[in-house]
Amino acid sequence: MFYAHLKNSKSDVFKRLTGTSPEVFSLMLDSLHAGIRDFGRPPTLCLEDRLLMVLMYWREYRTQAHIASTYGVSEATVCRTVKKFENVLIKDERFHLPGKKALRPSETVFEVILIDATECPCERPKKNNAASTPAKRSVTPKKPNSSPTNGPG
């Protein structure tokens, strides 16, 4: 998918294929024109095609090898382009998303009850030999034995 094929398409078709409207696409191009400085050999693809390549990577989750074969560039070129474009677009505040709370306001009110369930030592009497009174078996009274007597009879 090259920009030459898409630039004359309808807005809804453009958005379906790229994930952005033509207006947002042009804003991204303006940001990239201002932010990207190419050094060395000039790129083989124009800026619009490189942006489409990055959008394809983000939207379709295609591997960089597949995208490279589609556009006729190396896999390393795709990787470098994605990183460069991400850094430039992240710095532009027009493309920042609102925070989680702004995206999904909650009507649920949470009530929190906090219970302290930590283990506390209990005060119990200590077991030691001095505190108890030892008793011998001979000292304890025995039950009265019933002697075998002749019963009534």
Q: CA 101, CA 95: separation in Å to the nearest integer?
A: 18
52, 6 contact by CB (below 8 A): yes
pTM of the model: 0.61
Tens digit of pLDDT at every position of the chain (153 positions): 788 888 888 988 999 888 899 999 999 999 998 888 877 788 889 999 999 999 999 999 899 999 999 999 999 999 999 999 999 998 888 887 777 666 666 677 778 888 877 877 777 777 776 655 566 666 666 666 655 565 565
Q: CA 84, CA 110: separation in Å to the nearest integer?
A: 43
CB within 8 Å of 75: residues ≥ 6 apart: 64, 65, 68
